[in-house]
Structure 1
Amino acid sequence: MAIFKGAGVAIATPFNANGEVNYEEFERLIEFQIANGTDAIIVCGTTGEAATMSEEEHMEVVKFCIDKVNKRIPVIAGTGSNCTETAVKLSKIAEEYGADGVLCVSPYYNKATQNGLLAHFGAIAEAINIPIILYNVPSRTGCNIMPETVVKLCRQYKNIVGIKDATGNIAQTSRMMQLAEGCVDLYSGNDDEIVPIMAVGGLGVISVLSNVAPQQTHDICQKCLDGDFATARELQFKALPLVKALFSEVNPIPVKSALEMIGIKAGPLRLPLTKMEPANEAVLKEEMQKYGLI
């Protein structure tokens, strides 16, 4: 059984002015998500600025989220690293804390061959019992998990169950699903590709858009799951201008501005990320208004 179907939010991490995690506001964001139809929470991923957290802080945020959600919906912890030992360590702690699964990005900077990816993800799978979703985002990592590698991992390890696909390459995704013959749980990693990904067998999305539009993102996915792709397509089209604005600068710069616009005190970004450019922020505000969020 899949960890979740529908819209999983790649949740942002609110910070105080001094740069520390704002747990009070983080709880508000968690409750906002659950109250508005989010199907799962993915904590400490790219959108959560995990790359700027110490291991201790990273796992404190994961534990806080797991405890506050309290099994109402699945919580998937981002535990990937370009160091296999670190990824194993974080994944084991997430399992101890009660995570429903982990999201593991392919190694970045040092990268890996396909054989290296098999060994890296295999080591994580052998260290834990909870489900693992691979995360393929070559634009950030410089490392592409090829379809054959994904399928081999999902067949070889019972707890490697699927992939967050942010390749933007629908031909590669289709090839993977053709090879998989049902053994790969596929999630879109791009908010502008929810319907195309679900049309080739995806179960939903791991979404940035869901931070500010959880119900709407859920609805796009649900229409696909119901087989109503005509309505899903219209909902996807309606969201495209806002999605474009949410990615006008590197994620999560725009979405933290968007959260502020709806009254969530997302706070500052951690360097090297900086505040959104005023011109881009003005466009984002306009699209938020058009979409009915403010």
Structure 2
Amino acid sequence: MKKAEFLTPAVTIFDAQGNVDREGNVAVYDHLLRGGMDGIVIMGSTGEFFAMPMEQKKELIDIAVPFIKGKGKCFIGTGGLVVNDSVSDTVELSNYACEAGADAVMIVAPYYFALGAADLEAYYDAVASRVKGDIYLYNYPKCTGSDLSPEITLNLLRKHPNIKGFKDTVDCFGHTRAIIEATKDEFPDFVVLSGYDENLYHVMLSGGNGCIGGLSNFVPELFAKWCKAINEGELAVIEECQRKVNALMCIYSDRAPFPHIAKRGLTLRGVPISETTRHFSVAPIDTAKLTGLIEGALK
């Protein structure tokens, strides 16, 4: 079995005016790295990239990369809407991140208008040929309307050696398993990561590499413990961690958007941040329930 790794798609901390909060973001990164995370993804979905203008994204890269580099892996989400020439915007931000020293960029498919298989492959062809660094494909069909199939993935890997990995945020684990099965013989070093926390062990048993999961924002210690148990074959601990993660998964179906909940979870853990978000929500957060789930996860 490969060595399990867990990366956090970190929240982005903003001040009350919606500006990037340098101290708050550094506090989050420090919390995650001290909690045992193998790396941090900046501007994944949990990081509210969809609500940030280009210059703000570059500002966050300038904060995150120097702090994280050398302490853990640093990936930068660089995908975006199909507006204002999405290919050019994605390439510009990707190359900015690579030049800043990021380990890789993670590129979600364009969204709002779903792309068919041929157009989806053509989009990644156009981007990958111009990005001067390593790329992780980010498959999130629930939000993009498009699916990176095993066939498309293999086609892209055969053309673009800088495509190094895949994050699969799907409800059906069979899809992730199919990606692993399709790529493992021809591209044995291709990294496949689950986008849902509960699937970490399933991914490892199927020959994958780990997970990029949002719950680790506020309980990184649990996921670090789980990876250690998987890597050392401690079955009783693996089972214990799986039960705790299963209990936490209900947070994703809460009425409040997940970035709101993740920031509340961080403040409950004592991380000094603002809970300001860049996207609108008036849905209440059940703080008592969240507190109980965090306490149970950390026992």
Fold conserved between structures, TM > 0.5? yes
Aligned residue pair count: 289
8 Å contact 1:76–1:103 — kept in the other structure? yes
Deviations 1:68-100 (A, max 9, x none): 123221210000123222111111111111111
The answer to which of 257-266 and 241-250 deviates more is 241-250
- Equivalent position of 1:291 in the other structure: 297
- Give 1:81's aligned residue: 80
4+ runs deviating over 6 angstroms: none
Is residue 20 of structure 1 aligned with residue 19 of structure 2? yes
Contact residue 44 and residue 62 of structure 1 kept, 8 A:
no
Counterpart Cα distance in 1 of 2:295 and 2:233: 30
What is the letter of the counterpart of residue 21 of structure 1?
Answer: V
- For the 8 Å contact 2:115–2:145, the answer to whether it is kept is no
Q: Which residue of structure 1 lines up, in the alignment, with residue 122 of structure 2?
A: 119
3-state SS of the aligned residue for 1:217? helix
Q: In the superposition, relative to structure 1, how do residues 200 and 266 fare at CA in structure 2: closer, same or farther (>3 Å)?
A: farther
Aligned counterpart in structure 2 of residue 269 of structure 1, from 259, 277, 291? 277
Comparing 4-13 with 139-148, greater Cα deviation is found at: 4-13
Which deviations, in whole Å up to 9, do the C-alpha atoms of 1:200-223 show, x marking residues without a partner? 122111121111111211222333
CA distance in 2, matches of 1:65, 1:157: 27
Which among 200, 209, 212 is matched to residue 203 of structure 1? 209
Q: TM-score, normalised by structure 2?
A: 0.89
Q: Kindly report which structure 2 residues correspond to 1:74-223, keeping only aligned pairs within 5 A, or say none.
A: 74-82=73-81, 83-182=86-185, 183=187, 184-223=190-229
Q: Is the 8 A contact 1:246 1:284 kept in 2?
A: no
Does the CA contact (< 8 Å) of 1:136 and 1:144 recur in 2? yes
**CA–CA distance in structure 2, aligned partners of residues 9 and 222 of structure 1:** 16
Deviations 1:177-235 (A, max 9, x none): 22112423110101122122222122111121111111211222333344455532331
Name structure 2 gaps, 5 residues minimum.
none
Q: How far, CA to CA, are the matches of 2:23 and 2:69 in structure 1? A: 16
- Percent identity between matched residues is 27
Q: Which runs of 5+ in 1 are unaligned?
A: none
Match of residue 68 from structure 1: 67
Structure 1 counterpart SS, 2:20: coil
State how far apart, in whole Å, the 1-side matches of 2:165 and 2:289 are: 35
Q: Deviations over 1:7-26 (max 9, x none)?
A: 11101111212222211111
TM-score, structure 1 normalization: 0.91
SS in 2 for 1:47: helix
**1:43 alignment partner in structure 2:** 42
**Distance in 1 (alpha carbons) for counterparts of 2:59 and 2:117:** 32
Q: How many angstroms does 1:285 deviate by?
A: 1.9
Whole-angstrom distance in 2 between the partners of 1:133 and 1:35: 25
The alpha-carbon distance between structure 1 residues 119 and 269, as it changes in their structure 2 partners (threshold 3 A), is: same
**Please, which moves more after superposition, 140-149 or 230-239?**
230-239
Contact kept in structure 2, 1:269 and 1:275, CA below 8 Å: no
